[in-house]
């Protein structure tokens, strides 16, 4: 909808009304078109201002309409009509002008922006391009290099940057609508021919060809082609090109995955637990002071993330040397972040101590000490004695039992996992792990704190490895089995990297350090040295690969020791080692193609994802996808493992798993889990219907 009023005697004010972001839905497009006609036909009106209600100009096209049949008037002719108007039209930009919202503003003759507004063309992040004239008008307005940069990265700019670039005409600290109305009165009757961006010549840039060639190498080809059309063709032909390119993108799998992920990231905020706690019925408690216990790599990152979120932080480390080093490291991280943002580091929000007692007054405590149950048990008992009785006690464990830690305290309902990902100050993902006794308020508080830190928080039930690491275990296991059967680390990594992972599984393990998993496997009784014969490759009655353990026994811990799955200097050791290992265990190497690598590694991970859904560890597939894209490097343009399964087809995933299970009956996780089989039997419903299908006693399966 769009509301039309007349203000200050002669200004027609059009207000976009579609909460929460005034997206350009069919009704809004219709409303704007009608309001523009009214304003232009109103004899009393000399100029027009377009704004959005509730301090937000417009978040762009309504993404929920994509993929559905188009209804309502199209955007492009509507923007043309605004630009062609003979009365000046001024955009009053507050909050955001993104995508189609900015394209609408570019169709106006003037743009006034509030100083806190952000502007951008983020379509590329949804697998699209700005197809309401954005690729044609922006280069004409600000030149090809700057426009190419904004369109191909999707980056938002601040109002000050937009002014500098020439996107907006004026920036104000006051109410942008009031300023725009005054401005509209001042430009009444002025000629408009040089204010219509589509009629401007694209500013000349030196060596345009090499600029486009270079951009082609780095970015989305369609965006570059569309901007090239702006630089080389008349406006009308450029618009045809923009439309044709958009049509090729619109139905692509990438665009569908990126749009799905846009909503998935937001859906995880509407969390629920099997116990009935929900985001909309649970009130978070305010957290003003947080304590971090243990200032190793994770503790330091968490301290920085909390301080940057404006909390007062008490950072506790009992080892003097570590405390001194941490203090320096944290100050360095804050300084670097401030330089990046062009601000000065916030002073005085962190106090350091070598005494646990310093955490006594904190609203919430996050422990990030060594990953060892005994150490953590003792700490939780001490915290329970030292801290306020209403303090939330959180553990940053990546795998240990949250319920067990809760049982060490006086108030188990206030104990939770807050599983950060390294580097904690930068990674977007936070797993909030609730135990059997965690209260809804505790969950809501940790979820809210994650949001305050700029993270996407996902509520996850307590189980070994929670959601992310539990799935990762199956993926790693298959990668090891593939090596046993004849694959090489290079071959497996190549397949995964071509799929879209920034790093294959072995390169990733080398980076994070092989000794970490080895320590965990030793504690679980899985890593045992000196075993020979068939028992060397079996644990707890199932196939087990000791390859990771053997590498550690050879002091190959990954990049930190100069060697892991890869040698960082010429060294044929690993291939010889694998050959000897296969010969010792009577394994005949075979050629393993990329398809098998992907299916074995990814489908087993997806299968575990279905099991996690069935176990009600998370509430829906979006939770798993958010975890995998934001925490485990799953390529965003593939939407996440569960969305990928939906795209591939559940029947195919189940069939291929069955096929591999028959070939490897000693690997039970290759057998399609119950939920996957039931979904296939019920006709493979689309992903947005899985939640309903899983939902307990009312299950439709």
* 3-state SS string for 166-182: CCCCEEECCCHHHHHHH
CA dist 642 and 609 (Å) reads 7
Residue 52 touches ligand 3H9, criterion: CB under 6 A:
no
Phi-psi region of 348 (alpha: psi -120 to 50; beta: other; left: phi over 0): left
Residue placing its CB nearer to ligand 3H9 in the complex, 97 or 479 = 97
If the CB atoms of residues 69 and 374 are measured against ligand 3H9, the closer one turns out to be 69
Question: In the annotation, is 103 catalytic?
Answer: yes
Cα distance between residue 607 and residue 54, in whole Å? 44
DSSP 8-state assignment for residue 61: B
Contact between 618 and 458 (Cβ < 8 Å):
yes
| Encoded tokens for 638 | 């593939």
Residues between 523 and 552 that touch ligand 3H9 (CB under 6 A): none
Q: Which stretch binds ligand 3H9 (CB under 6 A): 124-132, 380-388, 591-599, 647-655?
A: 124-132
Stretches 62-70, 297-305, 418-426, 436-444: which one binds ligand 3H9 (CB under 6 A)? 62-70
Interface with ligand 3H9, residue 23, by CB under 6 A: yes
| Nearer of residues 430 and 574 to ligand 3H9, judged by Cβ | 430
Answer yes or no whether residue 131 interacts with ligand 3H9 by CB under 6 A: yes
- Residues 6 or more apart in contact with residue 530 via CB below 8 angstroms: none
Q: Are 198 and 137 in contact (CB under 8 A)?
A: yes
Binding string, 72-91, against ligand 3H9, x = CB under 6 A? ---x----------------
CB of 269 to ligand 3H9, least distance (A): 7
CB of 691 to ligand 3H9, least distance (A): 15
- Can residue 61 be called a binding residue for ligand 3H9 (CB under 6 A)? yes
Q: Does 130 interact with ligand 3H9 (rule: CB under 6 A)?
A: yes
Count of residues interacting with ligand 3H9 (CB under 6 A): 25
Given 103, 242, 484, 485, which residue is catalytic? 103
Q: Which stretch in 127-135, 142-150, 276-284, 624-632 sits in contact with ligand 3H9 by CB under 6 A?
A: 127-135
Task: Write phi, then psi, for 83 (nearest 5 degrees).
Answer: -65, -35
* Beta carbons of 523 and 581 less than 8 angstroms apart: no
**Interaction pattern, residues 432-451, with ligand 3H9; x per rule: CB under 6 A:** --------------------
Applying CB under 6 A, the span of 93-101, 291-299, 354-362, 686-694 interacting with ligand 3H9 comes to 93-101
Closest-approach residue to ligand 3H9 (CB)? 99
Q: Verify binding: residue 123, ligand 3H9, rule CB under 6 A.
A: yes
Task: Select 203 or 269, whichever has its Cβ closest to ligand 3H9.
Answer: 269
Is 498 one of the annotated active-site residues of the chain?
no
Q: Which of 94, 123, 431, 485 is catalytic?
A: 123
Which window, 123-131, 181-189, 333-341, 420-428, contacts ligand 3H9 (CB under 6 A)?
A: 123-131
Write down the least CB distance from residue 23 to ligand 3H9, Å. 4
Strands in 156-158's sheet, in edge-to-edge order, are 96-98, 118-120, 156-158
Q: Could you tell me where the DSSP H helices lie in 390-524?
A: 402-406, 440-452, 468-485, 489-499, 505-512, 514-523
Q: Is 63 in the site for ligand 3H9 (CB under 6 A)?
A: yes
d(CA 239, CA 134): 9
21 binds ligand 3H9 per the rule CB under 6 A: yes
Nearest-angstrom CA–CA distance, 8 and 188: 13
Query: Which of 174, 190, 266, 410 is the binder for ligand 3H9 (CB under 6 A)?
Result: 266
Binding residues for ligand 3H9 restricted to 244-263, rule: CB under 6 A? 263
Separation between Cα atoms, residue 275 and residue 618, nearest integer Å = 12
Nearest to 371 by CA among 393, 401, 391: 401
Tell me whether residue 59 or residue 417 sits nearer to ligand 3H9 (CB atom).
59
Q: Which residues are 459's β-sheet partners?
A: 432
Q: What helix, strand, coil percent values describe the chain, rounded to 5?
A: 50, 15, 35
Q: Supply angle C-alpha 511, 424, 421, rounded to 5.
A: 60
Helix, strand, or coil (residue 345): coil
Q: Can residue 100 be called a binding residue for ligand 3H9 (CB under 6 A)?
A: yes
Q: Does 126 participate in binding ligand 3H9 (rule CB under 6 A)?
A: yes
Do residues 501 and 635 make contact, with C-beta atoms less than 8 angstroms apart?
A: yes
Q: Name the residues that contact ligand 3H9, by CB under 6 A.
A: 20-21, 23, 59-64, 75, 96, 98-100, 103, 122-123, 126, 128, 130-132, 134, 263, 266
Q: What is the set of active-site residues?
A: 103, 123
């Amino acid at each position: 909808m769009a509301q039309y009023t007349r203000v200050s005697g002669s200004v027609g004010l059009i207000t976009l009304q579609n909460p929460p972001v005034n997206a350009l839905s069919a009704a809004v497009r219709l409303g704007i078109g009608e309001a523009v006609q009214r304003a232009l036909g109103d004899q009393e009106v000399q100029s027009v201002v377009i704004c959005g209600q509730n301090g937000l100009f417009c978040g762009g096209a309504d993404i929920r309409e994509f993929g559905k049949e188009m209804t309502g008037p199209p955007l492009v002719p509507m923007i043309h009509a605004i630009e062609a108007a003979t009365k000046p039209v001024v955009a009053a930009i507050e909050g955001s002008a993104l995508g189609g919202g900015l394209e609408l503003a570019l169709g106006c003759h003037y743009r006034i922006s509030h100083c806190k507004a952000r502007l951008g063309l983020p379509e590329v992040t949804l697998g699209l391009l700005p197809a309401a004239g954005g690729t044609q008008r922006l280069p004409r307005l600000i030149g090809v290099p700057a426009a190419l940069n904004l369109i191909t990265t999707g980056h938002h700019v601040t109002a000050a940057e937009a002014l500098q670039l020439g996107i907006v005409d004026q920036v104000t600290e006051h109410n942008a609508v009031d300023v725009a109305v005054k401005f509209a009165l001042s430009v009444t009757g002025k000629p408009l021919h040089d204010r219509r961006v589509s009629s401007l010549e694209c500013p000349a840039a030196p060596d345009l060809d090499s600029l486009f060639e270079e951009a082609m190498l780095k970015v989305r080809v369609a965006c570059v082609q569309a901007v090239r059309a702006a630089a080389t063709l008349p406006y009308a032909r450029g618009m045809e090109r923009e439309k044709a390119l958009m049509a090729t993108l619109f139905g692509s799998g990438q665009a569908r995955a990126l749009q799905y992920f846009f909503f998935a990231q937001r859906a995880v905020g509407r969390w629920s637990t099997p116990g009935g706690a929900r985001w909309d019925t649970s009130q978070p408690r305010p957290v003003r002071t947080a304590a971090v216990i243990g200032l190793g790599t994770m503790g330091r990152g968490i301290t920085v993330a909390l301080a940057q979120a404006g909390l007062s932080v008490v950072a506790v480390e009992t080892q003097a040397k570590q405390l001194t080093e941490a203090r320096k490291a944290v100050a360095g991280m804050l300084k670097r972040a401030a330089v990046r943002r062009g601000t000065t580091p916030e002073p005085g929000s962190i106090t350091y101590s070598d005494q646990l007692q310093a955490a006594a007054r904190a609203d919430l405590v996050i422990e990030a000490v060594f990953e060892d149950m005994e150490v953590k048990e003792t700490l939780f008992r001490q915290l329970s004695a030292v801290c306020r009785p209403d303090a939330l006690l959180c553990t940053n464990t990546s795998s240990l039992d949250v319920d067990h830690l809760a049982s060490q305290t006086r108030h188990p309902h206030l104990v939770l996992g807050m599983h950060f990902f390294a580097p904690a100050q930068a990674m977007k993902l936070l797993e909030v792990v609730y135990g059997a006794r965690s209260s809804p308020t505790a969950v809501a508080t940790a979820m809210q704190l994650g949001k305050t830190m700029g993270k996407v928080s996902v509520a996850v039930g307590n189980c070994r490895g929670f959601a992310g690491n539990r799935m990762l275990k199956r993926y790693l296991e298959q990668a090891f089995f593939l090596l046993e059967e004849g694959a090489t680390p290079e071959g497996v990594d190549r397949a995964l990297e071509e799929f879209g992972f920034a790093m294959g599984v072995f390169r990733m393990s080398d980076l994070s350090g092989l000794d970490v998993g080895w320590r965990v496997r030793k504690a679980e009784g899985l890593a045992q040295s000196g075993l020979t014969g068939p028992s060397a490759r079996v644990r707890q009655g199932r196939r087990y690969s000791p390859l990771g353990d053997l590498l550690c026994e050879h002091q190959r811990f990954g990049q930190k020791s100069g060697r892991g799955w890869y040698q960082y200097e010429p060294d044929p050791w690993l291939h010889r080692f694998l050959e000897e290992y296969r010969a010792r265990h009577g394994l005949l190497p075979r050629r393993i193609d990329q398809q098998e690598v992907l299916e074995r590694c990814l489908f087993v991970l997806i299968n575990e994802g279905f099991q996690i859904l069935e176990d009600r560890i998370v509430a829906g597939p979006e939770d798993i996808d958010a975890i995998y894209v934001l925490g485990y490097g799953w390529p965003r343009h593939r939407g996440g493992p569960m969305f990928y399964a939906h795209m591939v087809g559940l029947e195919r995933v189940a069939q291929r798993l069955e096929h591999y299970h028959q070939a490897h009956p000693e690997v039970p996780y290759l057998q399609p889990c119950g939920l996957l089989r039931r979904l296939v039997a019920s006709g493979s419903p689309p992903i947005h219907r899985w939640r309903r299908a899983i939902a307990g006693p009312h299950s439709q399966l």
